[in-house]
Amino acid sequence: MKIASVVGARPQFIKAAPVSREVRQHNEEILVHTGQHYDDNMSDVFFEVLDLPRPDYNLGIGGGSAAWQTAEMIRALEGVLEKERPEFVLVYGDTNSTLAGAIVASKMGVPLGHVEAGLRSFNRAMPEEINRIVADQLSTLLFCPTQTAVDNLAREGVERGVHLVGDVMYDIALQSAQAARSRDVSVRFGVTPGEYLLATLHRPGNVDDRGVLEGIVRAFGRSRRPIVFPVHPRTRKNLEAFGLWDTLRASVKAIEPVDYLDFIALLMGASKVLTDSGGVQKEAYFFGIPCVTLRDETEWIETVEDGWNALVGTEPEDILDAIEKFNPAGTKSKSFGDGHAAEKIARILDKFV
């Protein structure tokens, strides 16, 4: 079968890597990069370290308002799919690239598969929540990472085409752990394993509002342990625009975004993670690192139920309290699959007619 896979943002390159490898065993895959993320350290490095084939097309859309960005992607993607005539379209996660891929496939009458289907934060103020709901509604095959995701879809009346396959991010995390361990991050980033915190931030609710971002920066600045913080470009732009960049750099180790193996290596050496990322919450769980999430809700509720992830929101005192005191008790018991989710997706696609 000829499959067009649509990716565009950092986490999608990571999710696509294990799936693409499996899908290509029995299918022809055309990889389309929307260009949503475009800096080398947000895009190209992932193709290199994850052995993801170079995109057949890069639509070069870049940043802009959500509606403009999505509209441009839809327009450009339609041209590519008209030329390539795929028999199936595969989308990942919940970004505007996911939404664009889903809409074009549905308008062209091409069956759609959604990897990471069924996730819900139940917060419709998040652009991602809308993107997920639309993608799920338009999908023929819905590849769920967790039972929670399957249950969410059932509550919305979506049961046909739903497959519980496990999490492709768990696959790639397991596959990459050994290579990550050989990365000399403590030397390069000047940190002592077990003695630092790793932070990431990029949710608009946290970084687009000056007051919220300033509160977080000030809380980070009061941490007794050093914080390593690979700064997402959205966050960097806002820190600079709000005049907070120098304040941040005075108290934390602010670095450029790093490649996946460096990130996993930094994560494995961290004593705690501070994040608002979806993927990073899970990776912290996979590797048994306590996670403090600067949000009020999460799609990855299993990590919270199991006691390894604390949802603390963005009040500085709450963040500091969790930095000092959050200490998961007990073993991890929740399932994100068996590390073979990508294989399962590919075998389901092999049988799709």
Q: Is 260 in the site for ligand UDP (CB under 6 A)?
A: yes
Least separation in angstroms between residue 69's CB and ligand UD1 is 6
Q: Is 34 in the site for ligand UD1 (CB under 6 A)?
A: no
How far apart CA 95 and CA 271 sit, in angstroms, is 30
Least separation in angstroms between residue 122's CB and ligand UD1 is 16
Q: Is 279 in the site for ligand UDP (CB under 6 A)?
A: yes
Q: Is 38 in the site for ligand UD1 (CB under 6 A)?
A: yes
Residue among 33, 37, 114, 202 flagged as catalytic: 202
In the annotation, is 202 catalytic?
A: yes
Handedness of CA 221, 270, 278, 254 (dihedral sign): positive
Q: Is 352 in the site for ligand UD1 (CB under 6 A)?
A: no
Six token digits for residue 45: 């490095």
Determine if residue 329 is left, alpha or beta; phi over 0 gives left, psi from -120 to 50 gives alpha, anything else beta.
Answer: beta
Residue 253 contacts residue 229 (beta carbons within 8 Å): yes
Which range binds ligand UD1 by CB under 6 A, 138-146, 191-199, 230-238, 296-304?
230-238
Ranges within 202-241 binding ligand UDP (CB under 6 A):
202, 230
Q: Is 36 in the site for ligand UD1 (CB under 6 A)?
A: yes
Residue 336 contacts residue 170 (beta carbons within 8 Å): yes
Which distant-in-sequence residues (6+ apart) come within 8 Å of 83 by Cβ?
none
Which range binds ligand UDP by CB under 6 A, 8-16, 56-64, 131-139, 141-149?
8-16
Q: How far is CA 134 from the centre of its chain?
A: 18
How far apart CA 195 and CA 352 sit, in angstroms, is 49
Six token digits for residue 11: 């986490």
How far apart CA 243 and CA 238 sit, in angstroms, is 8
Binding track over 162-201 against ligand UDP, x by CB under 6 A: --------------------------------------x-
Q: Is 39 in the site for ligand UD1 (CB under 6 A)?
A: yes
Which range binds ligand UDP by CB under 6 A, 109-117, 218-226, 274-282, 297-305?
274-282
Q: Which of 4, 5, 8, 11 binds ligand UDP (CB under 6 A)?
A: 11
Least separation in angstroms between residue 233's CB and ligand UD1 is 3
Q: Is 10 in the site for ligand UD1 (CB under 6 A)?
A: yes
Which range binds ligand UDP by CB under 6 A, 28-36, 54-62, 253-261, 341-349?
253-261
Q: Where are the alpha helices (DSSP H) in the chain?
A: 10-23, 44-49, 66-84, 96-108, 127-138, 147-155, 168-181, 185-189, 204-207, 210-221, 233-241, 245-251, 260-269, 278-286, 301-305, 316-325, 341-351
How far apart CA 319 and CA 197 sit, in angstroms, is 13
Q: Is 121 in the site for ligand UD1 (CB under 6 A)?
A: no
- Residue ranges that bind ligand UD1, judged by CB under 6 A: 9-11, 36-39, 42, 63, 66, 94-96, 127-128, 202, 232-234, 237
Interface residues with ligand UDP (CB under 6 A) are: 10-11, 14, 200, 202, 230, 257-260, 263, 277-280, 283
